[in-house]
Structure 1
């Protein structure tokens, strides 16, 4: 086989389809976000697609905690927690996260992807005869964990408790079951009916596995996510989250019973063989979680900006998906047009909005996914909408596909 030719041909196919991904040379600057410096264009830009939803990556309490921890503990962790040990920083953050979700325990991972992959893969593989029920829109990390487990999997219609009930009714009573779903779905911005899903799962004796990565920090009185907002945290077997989005740092975690977290700690290869998060990362994340547990200011400002953005898009006649979350998808519907729109926004207007194409979203639903933050001003929003309207018309995009 001509390996290099194979690699080039596959990449050329992505380019022809409009799905080749490019990484922008962007320098984030603490204190200036959402402004950043684009080294390719040699100019300042405004970022509109970051998952640092609240701008906590530059909050003084967070950066100060990280800086202090680096001075005390150094840059790295020294290896896995089994080898290098539990630092006080790891244990304190896990206690903070357990308290956030009203659970007995929590367990840290190096990323949200790893926490999903390792946890679902371990639980489904090691419980004899386990079957997984998966929402049709679940994230790739959850799907990969299910695939890795080799456990039987059934997909229920997205956010449809009745279809979940129908499929659960076909499974032999007494079978170990995991019902896996998300709270906020990151591409369409819709929100799962958590109480209804919990009710169905409880009726069939199933475990409930909730991915809250796009909700923690943003929803609930203390940032515990949709499960806290809806008052159902106690009904969920396991809550999985990230420290890289609403909390602005990096890492993933699960929260649940002490036995469940210890089971995953003891059997999940993705935890056992991964180096631990550095203490500086753990301390920064704990500062962020702690701050947002006590402050609603950032959440209120976020949703104020989102509401203003939606009003301005409506006034400009730009198509976007209406949903109850903070995510604002502007629909384009074709990959090459989506990329052209993104490139014009950046080059002409200094607006950074990466195109979202297949396989992140189904073909024909390509979009720009806007995430306003508390740091975006009303003037920024007006400039964004004006830039979108000008670029939309210049490219003759017409109505959304």
Structure 2
């Protein structure tokens, strides 16, 4: 008889030995006080400062968002009651989708319960439905994109990360007139680097390819009214279908697509990841809508986000602490050793009440282990200075290598 439990126990032991086993830190956010949170430990809860949240603008605790969710929860209950086809389409979903289409200047938008589901639905339908479709996928695309393209059964070409010339070469190997989809992200969440969107879109246009862009880490945080990096760079019209999430810049949960009406309608009608899953709870849709409308009305949160991220990056560069990239609001601190990365995160949390989750393989390549730091508007300047100082001292304690510090003005 096969020992199923023993097999998986051995597999988990092998993950522990290679440093790939994932552990959870039990964190309770404190609304109105975030980034302060309670770390629940066997010895009892302790207040910590969170430095790795994807709630990049602090909108998860904004009064307008909470008020919209409370009002809708009281009016409509906890859930939509089914899939979008079966009782799950409410006025809140309709209003949210109209808002997202307007924000991005697209004909139609469609909301999902997660951003993962949005990528899965769209790329599966494109690959499955377009005749003899060929995908051209950036090497560092998110797992949700890669797995959806594979599941579609369509031919897939992987181009070098952020390399328009390699994309052009690979597109040139496919006959003209054949349906092609170029898929990439605008900001890559683990490295924090930005795609050369104008160049990639121009290459795709020359080859008559549909452009699919995951803007999960840019909507709300970049561009006019938070419309994303494509809008900021003036290339939004070159993006056929945009995927965004409400879970990061907008501080709630869920995902969405925006694009041409027939394409979005096809996803709505054909995608298993849309048809056979639960609708977003009405209160969640209402909270997301309140967040989007607030961020469209002013730039305060966006300006503070980039100010805090800029301050942290300047302090770390001055200390010679290596960064994977310094292009975006995401600050990935390169450790390069799985054990020391875990030890670094442990010291920050246990001694200094600073929570930054270590990122290891398979999320990043072996030898590029890191802390992904996400400063936000709710981190005060003194918080940023304190974190940088503690990280600097702990870096020395662990004997981690430094990079030469460039000459520049003293940060504020």
Same fold per superposition (TM over 0.5): yes
Number of residues of Structure 1 aligned to a counterpart in Structure 2: 400
- Which whole-Å deviations, capped at 9, do the CAs of 1:237-260 have from their partners, x for residues lacking one? 100010000000000110001111
Q: CA deviation at 1:18?
A: 1.3
- Which whole-Å deviations, capped at 9, do the CAs of 1:145-167 have from their partners, x for residues lacking one? 00110110000111111111111
Q: Distance in 1 between matches of 2:216 and 2:181?
A: 18
Structure-1 residue corresponding to 2:18: 17
Q: Distance in 1 between matches of 2:250 and 2:219?
A: 8
Q: CA deviation at 1:230?
A: 0.8
C-alpha contact (below 8 Å) 2:80/2:89 kept by paired residues: no
Q: Distance in 2 between matches of 1:333 and 1:10?
A: 24
Does 2:365 align with 1:358?
Answer: no
Gaps of 5+ in 1: none
Q: CA deviation at 1:119?
A: 0.9
Q: CA deviation at 1:324?
A: 1.8
Structure-2 residue corresponding to 1:188: 191
Does 2:177 align with 1:174?
Answer: yes
C-alpha contact (below 8 Å) 2:338/2:360 kept by paired residues: yes
Q: Distance in 2 between matches of 1:311 and 1:162?
A: 32
Report matched runs for 1:323-362 at 5 Å.
323-362=326-365
Q: CA deviation at 1:336?
A: 1.1
Q: Distance in 1 between matches of 2:325 and 2:244?
A: 25
Structure-2 residue corresponding to 1:121: 124
Structure-1 residue corresponding to 2:406: none
Q: Distance in 1 between matches of 2:385 and 2:208?
A: 51
> SS of the residue aligned with 1:83?
coil
Name which of 197, 203, 214 aligns with 1:200.
Answer: 203
- Which whole-Å deviations, capped at 9, do the CAs of 1:178-235 have from their partners, x for residues lacking one? 1001100111111111111111111111100010000000000210110110111112
C-alpha contact (below 8 Å) 2:141/2:185 kept by paired residues: yes
C-alpha contact (below 8 Å) 2:124/2:151 kept by paired residues: yes
> SS of the residue aligned with 1:345?
helix
C-alpha contact (below 8 Å) 2:30/2:37 kept by paired residues: yes
Aligned-pair Cα RMSD in Å: 1.0
C-alpha contact (below 8 Å) 2:57/2:250 kept by paired residues: yes
**TM-score scaled by structure 1?**
0.98
Q: Distance in 2 between matches of 1:287 and 1:150?
A: 39
Q: Distance in 2 between matches of 1:341 and 1:152?
A: 42
C-alpha contact (below 8 Å) 2:320/2:402 kept by paired residues: no
- Which whole-Å deviations, capped at 9, do the CAs of 1:96-149 have from their partners, x for residues lacking one? 000111001000111111100111011101111001000111000000100110
Q: Distance in 1 between matches of 2:164 and 2:236?
A: 18
Q: Distance in 1 between matches of 2:128 and 2:28?
A: 42
> SS of the residue aligned with 2:71?
helix
Q: Distance in 2 between matches of 1:122 and 1:391?
A: 48
Does 2:156 align with 1:163?
Answer: no
**TM-score scaled by structure 2?**
0.95
Name which of 85, 97, 102 aligns with 1:82.
Answer: 85
Structure-2 residue corresponding to 1:242: 245
Q: CA deviation at 1:395?
A: 2.0
> SS of the residue aligned with 2:189?
coil
C-alpha contact (below 8 Å) 2:305/2:375 kept by paired residues: yes
Q: CA deviation at 1:295?
A: 1.1
C-alpha contact (below 8 Å) 2:97/2:108 kept by paired residues: yes
Moved >3 Å (runs of 4+): none
Gaps of 5+ in 2: 404-412
Structure-1 residue corresponding to 2:294: 291
Q: CA deviation at 1:317?
A: 2.6
Structure-1 residue corresponding to 2:408: none
Q: Distance in 1 between matches of 2:343 and 2:8?
A: 25
Q: Distance in 2 between matches of 1:321 and 1:161?
A: 21
Q: Distance in 1 between matches of 2:331 and 2:70?
A: 34
Q: CA deviation at 1:171?
A: 0.2
- Which whole-Å deviations, capped at 9, do the CAs of 1:14-64 have from their partners, x for residues lacking one? 111112111111100110100000111521000000000000000001011
Structure-1 residue corresponding to 2:95: 92
Q: CA deviation at 1:323?
A: 2.4
> SS of the residue aligned with 2:346?
helix
C-alpha contact (below 8 Å) 1:329/1:370 kept by paired residues: yes
Q: Distance in 1 between matches of 2:255 and 2:378?
A: 25
Structure-2 residue corresponding to 1:36: 37
- Which whole-Å deviations, capped at 9, do the CAs of 1:250-282 have from their partners, x for residues lacking one? 001100011111110000010000110011000
Structure-2 residue corresponding to 1:229: 232
C-alpha contact (below 8 Å) 1:17/1:336 kept by paired residues: no
Report matched runs for 1:378-397 at 5 Å.
378-397=381-400
